[in-house]
Amino acid sequence: MVAIQTGLTPNEMERESGVGRAADHLGLIAIGVFAAMLYAVFEVVTVVQGLSVYFNTISILSISVFSQMLINRSKDAETQLARINRSLEDQVAYRTAQLQLSYEDLLSENAIRRQTEQKLKDSETRYRTMFENTGMATIIVEADGAIILANREFCRLSGYSLDDLAGRKTLMHFLSEEDEARIRRLELPRAANTEAAPPHMEAQLQGRDGTRVQVLLTTARIPESSRTLVSFSDVSELKKAQETIKFQAFYDLQTGLPNKALFLDHLKMAMVRHKSRTGYRYAVVAVNIDRFKLTVDSLGHGVELQLLELFSGILRDATRPVDTVARIGTGEFAILLDDVGEPGGPVWLVQKIQKRLQAPFRLGSEEVFVSASFGLVTNCEDYHQAEHVLRDADMAMLSAKEAGKGRFAVYDRTMHEQAVRLLQMENDLRRALDKKELKVHYQPIVACDTRRLVGFEALARWEHPEWGLIHPDAFIPVAEDSGLIVEIGHWVLHEACLQLRRIHQSQPGADGLFMSVNLSGRQLGHPEIEDQTRRVLNDSGLDPHRLKLEITESVVMSDPEAVIDLLGRFKRMGVRLGIDDFGTGYSSLSYLQKFPVDTLKVDRSFVSRMDPHHPENQKIVEIIITLAHSLGLGVIAEGVETSEQQSILSFLRCQFAQGFLFSHPMDRPAMEALVSSPGPIFC
The residue (of 43 and 528) whose beta carbon lies closer to ligand C2E is 528
The residue (of 339 and 487) whose beta carbon lies closer to ligand C2E is 487
Question: Taking phi first (over 0 means left), then psi (-120 to 50 degrees means alpha), and beta for anything else, what does residue 614 get?
Answer: beta
Among 331, 489, 578, 585, binds ligand C2E (CB under 6 A): 489
When asked if residue 468 is in the footprint of ligand C2E (CB under 6 A), the reply is no
Shortest Cβ 602–ligand C2E spacing (Å) = 10
Q: For 520-575, where are the E strands, in sequence order? A: 547-552
The residue (of 304 and 581) whose beta carbon lies closer to ligand C2E is 581
Residue 199 burial by Cβ neighbours in a 10 Å radius (0-12, 13-18, 19+): exposed
Shortest Cβ 520–ligand C2E spacing (Å) = 4
Among 370, 410, 492, 624, binds ligand C2E (CB under 6 A): 492
The residue (of 327 and 441) whose beta carbon lies closer to Mg ion is 441
Whole-angstrom Cα distance, residue 69 to residue 78?
Answer: 14
- Residue 43: what residue type? E
When asked if residue 295 is in the footprint of ligand C2E (CB under 6 A), the reply is no
428 binds, among ligand C2E, Mg ion, none (CB under 5 to 8 A by kind): none
Give the number of other CB atoms < 10 A from CB of residue 518.
21
Contact assessment for residue 314 and residue 356, using Cβ atoms and an 8 Å cutoff:
yes
Shortest Cβ 624–ligand C2E spacing (Å) = 15
Closest CA to 283 of 398, 351, 371, 381: 381
When asked if residue 530 is in the footprint of ligand C2E (CB under 6 A), the reply is no
- Residue 301: what residue type? H
230 binds, among ligand C2E, Mg ion, none (CB under 5 to 8 A by kind): none
Among 246, 430, 471, 572, binds ligand C2E (CB under 6 A): 471
**SS3 annotation, 156-177:** HHHCCCHHHHCCCCEHHHHECH
How many binding residues for ligand C2E (CB under 6 A)? 24
Shortest Cβ 409–ligand C2E spacing (Å) = 24
The residue (of 20 and 521) whose beta carbon lies closer to ligand C2E is 521
Whole-angstrom Cα distance, residue 381 to residue 392?
Answer: 13
Shortest Cβ 581–ligand C2E spacing (Å) = 6
Site string for ligand C2E, 616-655 (x = CB under 6 A): ----------------------xxxx--------------
Which span sits near ligand C2E by CB under 6 A: 15-23, 54-62, 466-474, 620-628?
A: 466-474
Shortest Cβ 626–ligand C2E spacing (Å) = 22
171 binds, among Mg ion, ligand C2E, none (CB under 5 to 8 A by kind): none
The residue (of 375 and 583) whose beta carbon lies closer to Mg ion is 583
665 binds, among Mg ion, ligand C2E, none (CB under 5 to 8 A by kind): ligand C2E
Whole-angstrom Cα distance, residue 164 to residue 271?
Answer: 59
When asked if residue 518 is in the footprint of ligand C2E (CB under 6 A), the reply is yes
Whole-angstrom Cα distance, residue 240 to residue 252?
Answer: 17
Among 345, 406, 472, 634, binds ligand C2E (CB under 6 A): 472
How many binding residues for Mg ion (CB under 5 A)? 5
For the chain, how many helices (H) and strands (E)?
A: 24, 21
Kindly compute the dihedral angle of the four CA atoms of residues 515, 519, 525, 526, in this order, to the nearest 10 degrees.
-70
* Contacts of Mg ion in 630-659 (CB under 5 A): 638
Site string for ligand C2E, 359-398 (x = CB under 6 A): ----------------------------------------
Question: Taking phi first (over 0 means left), then psi (-120 to 50 degrees means alpha), and beta for anything else, what does residue 324 get?
Answer: beta
Whole-angstrom Cα distance, residue 607 to residue 373?
Answer: 27
- Residue 223: what residue type? P
Provide the angle, in degrees to the nearest 10, between the axes of the packed helices 302-318 and 345-356: 140
Shortest Cβ 610–ligand C2E spacing (Å) = 12
Kindly compute the dihedral angle of the four CA atoms of residues 391, 397, 399, 400, in this order, to the nearest 10 degrees.
170
Whole-angstrom Cα distance, residue 98 to residue 104?
Answer: 10
Among 444, 560, 585, 659, binds ligand C2E (CB under 6 A): 659
Contacts of 426 (CB under 8 A, 6+ apart): 478, 481, 482, 484
Shortest Cβ 442–ligand C2E spacing (Å) = 10
Closest CA to 657 of 645, 671, 665, 667: 645
Site string for Mg ion, 578-607 (x = CB under 5 A): --xx--------------------------
Site string for Mg ion, 542-581 (x = CB under 5 A): --------x-----------------------------xx
DSSP per-residue string spanning 350-404 = HHHHHHHTTSPEEETTEEE---EEEEEE---TT---HHHHHHHHHHHHHHHHHT-
Whole-angstrom Cα distance, residue 261 to residue 555?
Answer: 31
Contacts of 543 (CB under 8 A, 6+ apart): 504, 511, 574
The residue (of 492 and 515) whose beta carbon lies closer to ligand C2E is 492
CA angle, 260 then 265 then 269, to 5°: 145
* Contacts of Mg ion in 506-545 (CB under 5 A): 518
Among 349, 397, 460, 628, binds ligand C2E (CB under 6 A): 460
DSSP per-residue string spanning 616-640 = GGHHHHHHHHHHHHHTT-EEEEE--
When asked if residue 454 is in the footprint of ligand C2E (CB under 6 A), the reply is no
The residue (of 346 and 659) whose beta carbon lies closer to ligand C2E is 659
209 binds, among Mg ion, ligand C2E, none (CB under 5 to 8 A by kind): none
Among 290, 495, 553, 580, binds ligand C2E (CB under 6 A): 580
Provide the angle, in degrees to the nearest 10, between the axes of the packed helices 260-276 and 236-250: 70
Where on the chain is the footprint of Mg ion (CB under 5 A)? 518, 550, 580-581, 638
Where on the chain is the footprint of ligand C2E (CB under 6 A)? 443, 459-460, 471-473, 476, 489, 492, 518-520, 550, 580-581, 604, 638-641, 658-660, 665
